[in-house]
Amino acid sequence: MKSGNIITVGVLTPHASEGQYAEWRCMAATHVRVYFSRTQNPASPGTEPPTSVADLLARTTPAALDEAVSTLPLAALDALVLASTSSGYALGRREESALVQRLSERWGVPACATAMSVVSALRARDIERVSLIHPPWFGASLNDLGAEYFRSQGFEVVEALIAELPNDPDRIEPASVVDWISDHLSPRAEAVVIGGNGFRAARSVHALESRIGRLVLEANQVLLRSVLDSAGAAITIDGFGRLLNGLPGPANTRNER
């Protein structure tokens, strides 16, 4: 790592919300330094955050990403990340993987993205059946894209649900996330995936895993794990689920078919 014990990460995002920054500050302020750069739609720079799949795709072209990276302190970076679950869904797994590989090769540092980090974490733990939970602002189309994204990678999406919670990240409390997911979770799911880097559900993960006895992967939590691993940082973090504290996931439930 270029910066001693602190990993310096350049975060690319098309979104206005800094949910990922707020959650990483909560989970790993002593381990990770973050620089943000928002990607733009070249056809309409300076416009509001993306509201459509087409706009998400326009903000994740090589040119748009390179422009965003160029504003970062490149010499200090240990990693680059695309912090946008919805962008991964819009691109699809193959294009998202190619984008990440290109970022890494173009700028000479490891690169990660949210959705593909979830896929890697699920496969590493031999998970097959997932319950997919999204925030209310995702809407039906992104919810469906998310389900298709994971199905295309061979997972059984037992359910893809939009959480009935406030349509404002600042008003969502961890206890409400735990209660809603626990009340609606299918018994067939081996793991829960909480999508959306703006969801800010990381503080609910530990309590949710304790209640349901299954692995929980949350967008910013799993992206942080991916960054730590890619930078070769053997760091464990307590209080935000088994993925970060290095414990094996809860026993899955494959007998419940």
- Is residue 253 pLDDT above 70, yes or no? no
Q: Could you tell me the pTM of the whole model?
A: 0.90
Domain range spanning residue 94?
7-245
Residue 193 domain flag: yes
In a domain, 42, yes or no: yes
What is the number of residues in the chain? 257
The CATH number linked to 103 is 3.40.50.12500
Residue-level pLDDT at 47:
58
**Domain count across the chain:** 1
**Which pLDDT tens digit goes with each residue over 103-141?**
999 999 999 999 999 999 999 999 999 999 999 999 999
Name the residue among 64, 100, 56, 60 with its Cα closest to residue 80.
Answer: 100
Please indicate, yes or no, if residue 250 is contained in any of the structural domains.
no
Q: What is the pLDDT of residues 57-93, one digit of tens each?
A: 999 999 999 999 999 999 999 999 999 999 999 999 9
pLDDT in tens, 179-193: 999 999 999 999 999
Domain membership of residue 214 (yes or no) is yes
Asked, for residue 186, whether it belongs to a domain, the answer is: yes
Q: Is the pLDDT of residue 254 over 50?
A: no
pLDDT at 194 exceeding the cut of 80: yes
Q: What's the CA gap between 83 and 197, in Å, rounded?
A: 6
Instruction: Read off the pLDDT of residues 17-58 as tens digits, 9 standing for 90 and up.
Output: 666 778 888 898 888 999 999 898 776 665 566 668 888 899
Which amino acid makes up residue 119? Answer: V
21-29 LR contacts (CB < 8 Å, sep 24+): 22/200, 23/200, 23/202, 23/220, 23/221, 23/224, 24/220, 24/224, 26/202, 26/203, 27/202, 27/220, 27/221, 27/224, 27/237, 27/240, 27/244, 28/224, 28/228, 28/235, 28/237
Q: Is 1 within a domain?
A: no
Confirm whether 253 is domain-assigned. no
For residue 201, pLDDT beyond 50: yes
Q: Residue 200 is encoded by which pair of tokens?
A: 């800010």
- Does residue 127 belong to any structural domain of this protein? yes
pLDDT at 46: 58
Share of the chain above pLDDT 90, in %: 72
**pLDDT > 60? residue 251:** no
Whole-number average pLDDT of the chain: 89
203 — pLDDT class (breaks 50, 70, 90):
very high
Residues 142-162 have a mean pLDDT of: 97
